[in-house]
Structure 1
Amino acid sequence: RKHPDWMARDSSGRPFTTMIHMGYERLVGLCLNSPYREAIRNVVNEIVANYEIDGIYIDGVYQTPCQCCYCKTKFMEEYGLELPKFDGCEGLFVPKLDYNSPLARLYHRWLMELIREVFSTIRNDVKRLKDIPIIFNYGDAGGRRARRNLLQYADGLLFEMPRDFLDRMRWATLGRSTGKMMWQYVGTYGHAYGVLSPPCFWLSIPYDRQELALEGYLTIASGATPLVYSLNRYYYEEGGRSFAKEIFTFMKKNAHVLRDLRLKKFIALPFSQRTTDWYPKCSGEFGFDECMRGFFKLLIHCHYQVEAVWEDAILTNYDELRKYKILCLSNFACMSDEEAEVVKRFVRDGGGLLATYETSLYDEDGHRRDDFALKDLFHVSFYGEKKPTLRTVETYIRILKEHPITKGLSVGRRLPQDGNYIVVRELEGSSVLADTYLMHKHSSLGPCVVASRYGRGRIVYISSAIERLYYYLHFPELRKLIQNAVKWISGGVIPFEVDAPSGVITILAEKDDAYLMHLINYTGDILERPHCRFEYIAPVRNISIKINVPKNRSVSSIFRLTNNKKIKYKKDNATVKFNISELGKYEGVLINFSTSSH
């Protein structure tokens, strides 16, 4: 009220309101181009300079879409242009604009640069006054307003709001790919991802019981540290104390084991910020992130070791990429020529590639190419697309050939197909294992599942977004197809094999002298839309596990972390086999190594 000129304004000059927040009415956004910017700096500097604090957590920095006098003047001074007109937002803080417009893209980049500039200034202020860590809110990493360029200024990250249980693991591994420390809230889901609706609209509806402990174990297994949301509620509410205590007791007891662990590298699943920003189809119920969520869940349900990683962590750093055996490009539509060359080099040198739908069909700015940038790897050529309709949705994946990828799926069998698919034509060197089949016309639209080789590497390309379909419906036939594809691409060399229901989550971490396999029992209702409550976890019995032992290492002992009991095992060449007779909610299996004399 004292500074009305600080308020963000819409095109009509009215104060720009944002979201309902924690019991307040709708909040009025403030503009970082106004004197509000210096007010933020002054508050932070006062706290850091005058109080004995160990660190500082920055929830923002946010910039509400704004057409105030400060923004208009600055944009005109920098570009000689008027601000684009918009009415309202899509999601939080993202103006409704036609992002195919050069002016809209310029405005978006201008906002992102403003946020980066403010955050870097605050960081420099803090570090000048005290050498304390800065923790950054990582909660919006998946949207168009994502602030990937801010992560370089933070010492650690906090992730707030997952869409579902496995989304915690996806964002934990994504955060860790930056090399930063990572914390995650446990005990809450986010309204922003469509999980909750009125009257429970805000992001943080706390809950307890078994799922609180499960989330804690998953966070630990993913390489992050759990933070119990709204911990102060335990002063007056005893229900969840035992489950929160269970997590931190486990961490304290096994600190010597958990310290310095790193995830075993096998499959890299990169997040494409450019696709999220500029892919024309990122709207409504379809987009890149939806596909990536589906593929992450699909690979986890196959018991494969997978990490979500930022695209620039591996596609601009070949030495980091080559640590993985397989690169999975889940509708990675917007790809630069430079990134395509890195992928080609990776496969040529013996890496594996699994790609879907419109991967590499657009350049880094979202302009569609005439053909795939990875055409030489896919061994198919783009021919056209079909917009989903009631007719085109009635399509299937029809198995055409016997092959290790189609093992267990008989020739002629029709598998569920996502309504989002493109038409491609095979090129020399491809092996078409399945086609896109129009049921109502009894005709083929061309290749769907294509296997090929390039240099010393193997490739499987799928012309539809089957991972999106799996995200919602968990068809086991699609899981079988991907399970076979990964095994073929890898040449059968995979870190471990687990015979257990798909809901048993397996994560392998390593250090120089040991492996730690996490097993998390999430075999209940794993179709989480909306999220389910559960109070009882049925035990899973007789889980058999086979793990590849590192070169020049020999297994010396295997223990269960929950009770410190030894596990009997059998050695077989370069593998070790053992059984878990019964799995409750969690088990950690510690495999100790000694140096082999062979």
Structure 2
Amino acid sequence: MALDVTAGEISASGAVLRTPDWHLTATRWTQLTLVENDPVNFDPEFWIEVMRRTRSNAACISAGGYIAFYPTKIPYHYRSAYLGDTDPFGALVEGARRLGMHVMARVDPHAVHADAAAAHPEWLALTADGTPIEHWGYPDIWLTCPFGPYNREFITEVAREIVSTYDVDAIFANRWQGHGISYSEAARRSFRDETGFSLPEGEHDGRDPAWRAYADWRRRKLSELVGIWDNAVKDIRPHARFIPNLGGVTARDLDRELVEKHYPIFFIDKQGRSGVEVPWSAGRNGKRSRAMFRDRPVGLITSVGPEHHQHRWKDSVTSGAEVSTWIVDGFAHGAFPWFTKFNGTVSDPRWVQPVADAFRLHAQLEPHLSSMRITADVALFEPTTSTGPSSGSSGPYAHENGFYHALVEARIPFELVSDQNLTDEELARFRVLVLANAERLTDEQCSTIREFVRAGGGLVAAHHSSLGDDLGARRSNFGLADVFGVDLERPARGPVKNNYIAITADHPISDGYGGASRIIGGTELIHVEERPGTVVPFRFVPDFPDLPMEEVYARAEPSLPAVVAHEPPGGGGRSVYLPFNVGSLFWEELQPDHGRLIANAVRWASAAPDRVRVDGPGLIDVAVWEGAGELAVVAVNLTNPMAMKGPIREIVSVGPIQVAVRLPVGVSGADARLLVADTGAEVEIAAAEGGQEGADGGGLVATVTMPSVELLEVARLSWRRA
């Protein structure tokens, strides 16, 4: 099948090939995962043209592991039954190199065929009773143990063979971390020797010392394996790396110090929405990875087909608008694009143009944004081990999802902060930290947050935040009670029906409700007592019936605190505490008053005007990139009739969109350009509210209008100094 190459050929000029820094110019990836009969069915030249058309500068190509797509010489390295005397992997490597591209070989170590299983039973994953585990998706193939000689010896030898034979920059391993606990003899022996425990069985229990030891041991052994593989590759080809897939949770399963040594670049394997997952999830994946390692490039792997976990159609195509949106929202938040196609024989080519369009946008913007970094004044705390219980049926991250969406709707630029990277240095990047429901905080983490607020930072926290330690044990009072300005009287009760919170103080947090005296409250309520010196803008209305309808009226005046604002005397920062499940409830019900409440709390806690304000119609996901003497506001248009259900059928243009930026001190004006429209833009300069220059962003505001935003627009401003 031939493609019409209308987008122009990519240029290899400037690419740093075959050097230790090759990964810095690998910013648009084509991945082809071959299937067994591809050697006799697929057209390599079709894929070379796809790489050209998408302006890809890097490729990830199936090589070996479960099936070898090259003439391997290693015993029990299963060759495709259709390979014959062909070398599809080699042909694709050669074609990509002709285009000046970087190349990575994909291996899959998670399963072996029956002959290997019979010859090497020590390679297999076992159940607790010692039974080999057959693959769930295909008969007569067997899962491998990630901690035994298969990964440490056999896959190491495969990697050596590939880098010795082919001109590649890296090896990429998929499904290498195992599927649940493997009770192989190698795993049992290693765990017992290193921890003194037997491998745990049954349901996971975070309070069981064997389960806690297993988490640490697994992290250590997987990290050691990365080092073994990486060193083996570099011994043969010094610039090359072995970069195993980390899935959608970035590096939380590995030892941070070893990851820093062996991972020069990260790839997020979150290939699309699952079910009704919202499209801003793509950008969140980029934020998650950068929250762990801000100095490393990160890419987002996007599938051209649907990614629902229960219903798998891996050789299919989803809506082109959905594919483009996922790619674009990812790179707007710092995750460069990577698309993947399963099966080299293309029966449905409708994905090609949407991928090419999205990659073209990245290629167009990359020269402008590559010298900048993403910046924000607000950080949402990202729990990996510190999340509290969810509410309703919305999943374990319902609280965080609700706060995330509220900030997107409010167009407040924000980043994520990982609980594994909660340091003074990390928090110093921000004005406000948001804890949606961070129940499990260590004493050290509470101290770090306390010092952040004492130094002038803002804190917004809700529900169970700081009520538990890192093991989940409940504290008698909030670990951050002094920062919140409250004390715990009784733990959460619920589910409560028909609850309301009444406005009880004139305060910026209670602004914007159009004369309403009360708004919807929560379904899980915590009884707290406010400390002296705090302000309570909202109080809970005491319970009253929801039926019969004639009985639906309040019997008593508002009483218990529902929102507490704290501004310590003598300096320091500000805090807002909300003792109910506002995040998860907003995620479930999407009531606008809850979104406004979250946004008002964040803006007040900041104690400064918004540095960037974006106004206009639609659902816009905003990112801010900053460089020396310049700033770029990225607006991703997520407006769609089904935006909150995930699927996108078409891109619905919105506009005009006004972007207002507070200018730095000493700046007299700004020039602007709309990067997607590729045109200059008029800049209106006006005095900021108050008209005073200072640390909060200067006395002038520059406003730029985006007449229309289809999928993406970027307003780039550069400063003029007096």
* TM-score normalised by L of structure 1: 0.87
Per the alignment, residue 401 of structure 2 pairs with: 293
Per the alignment, residue 270 of structure 1 pairs with: 381
Per the alignment, residue 414 of structure 2 pairs with: 306
1:107-506 to structure 2, matched below 5 A, reads 107-129=214-236, 130-141=238-249, 146-147=253-254, 149=256, 151-152=259-260, 153-161=262-270, 162=272, 163-177=277-291, 178=293, 179-187=295-303, 191=307, 195=308, 197=310, 200-201=311-312, 206-230=317-341, 236-276=347-387, 281=389, 285=393, 289-313=397-421, 315-316=422-423, 318-389=424-495, 392-409=496-513, 413-440=517-544, 442=554, 446-454=560-568, 455-501=571-617, 503-506=619-622
Determine the C-alpha separation between the residues in 1 that align with 2:306 and 2:140.
18
Per the alignment, residue 691 of structure 2 pairs with: none
In the TM superposition, residue 146 of structure 1 has moved relative to its aligned partner by 3.9
Per the alignment, residue 701 of structure 2 pairs with: 575
SS in 2 for 1:273: coil
Structure 1 letter corresponding to 2:154: A
1:60-79 to structure 2, matched below 5 A, reads 60-63=175-178, 64-79=180-195
Determine the C-alpha separation between the residues in 2 that align with 1:486 and 1:264.
17
Per the alignment, residue 90 of structure 1 pairs with: none
Determine the C-alpha separation between the residues in 2 that align with 1:134 and 1:69.
27
1:463-493 residue CA offsets vs partner (Å, 9 max, x unmatched): 1231222223322111111222222112242
Structure 1 letter corresponding to 2:529: R
Structure 2 letter corresponding to 1:55: A
Give yes or no for contact 1:134–1:156 (8 Å, CA) kept in 2: no
Which one of 59, 82, 85 corresponds to residue 174 of structure 2? 59
Computed over aligned residues only, the root mean square deviation of the Cα atoms, in angstroms, reads 2.9
Q: Alpha carbons of 1:165 and 1:124: their partners in 2 closer, same or farther (altered >3 Å)?
A: same
Q: Which runs of 4+ in 1 moved over 6 A?
A: 231-234
Unaligned runs of 5+ in 1: 87-95
1:2-41 to structure 2, matched below 5 A, reads 2-16=119-133, 20=137, 24=138, 28-36=142-150, 37-41=152-156
Is 1:550 aligned to 2:656, yes or no?
Answer: no
Determine the C-alpha separation between the residues in 1 that align with 2:345 and 2:364.
22
Q: More displaced, 463-472 or 326-335?
A: 463-472
In the TM superposition, residue 49 of structure 1 has moved relative to its aligned partner by 3.6
Is 1:513 aligned to 2:513, yes or no?
Answer: no
Give yes or no for contact 2:148–2:186 (8 Å, CA) kept in 1: yes
Structure 1 letter corresponding to 2:190: K
SS in 2 for 1:120: helix
In the TM superposition, residue 133 of structure 1 has moved relative to its aligned partner by 4.0
1:49-72 residue CA offsets vs partner (Å, 9 max, x unmatched): 443211222335413302233333
1:539-560 residue CA offsets vs partner (Å, 9 max, x unmatched): 2233222111223334442122
SS in 1 for 2:680: coil
Determine the C-alpha separation between the residues in 1 that align with 2:702 and 2:577.
33
SS in 1 for 2:539: strand
Equivalenced residues, count: 569
Unaligned runs of 5+ in 2: 1-116, 546-553, 688-699
Determine the C-alpha separation between the residues in 1 that align with 2:587 and 2:593.
13
Determine the C-alpha separation between the residues in 2 that align with 1:460 and 1:189.
43
Give yes or no for contact 2:198–2:210 (8 Å, CA) kept in 1: no
Determine the C-alpha separation between the residues in 2 that align with 1:398 and 1:506.
32
Is 1:105 aligned to 2:219, yes or no?
Answer: no
Determine the C-alpha separation between the residues in 2 that align with 1:296 and 1:234.
39
SS in 2 for 1:128: helix
In the TM superposition, residue 11 of structure 1 has moved relative to its aligned partner by 2.4
Percent of matched pairs sharing the same residue? 24
Structure 2 letter corresponding to 1:160: D
SS in 2 for 1:334: coil
Structure 1 letter corresponding to 2:213: L
Structure 1 letter corresponding to 2:606: S
Per the alignment, residue 690 of structure 2 pairs with: none
1:150-176 residue CA offsets vs partner (Å, 9 max, x unmatched): 642311111122543111111102212
Q: Alpha carbons of 1:593 and 1:187: their partners in 2 closer, same or farther (altered >3 Å)?
A: farther
Per the alignment, residue 92 of structure 1 pairs with: none
In the TM superposition, residue 407 of structure 1 has moved relative to its aligned partner by 0.5
Determine the C-alpha separation between the residues in 1 that align with 2:122 and 2:383.
37
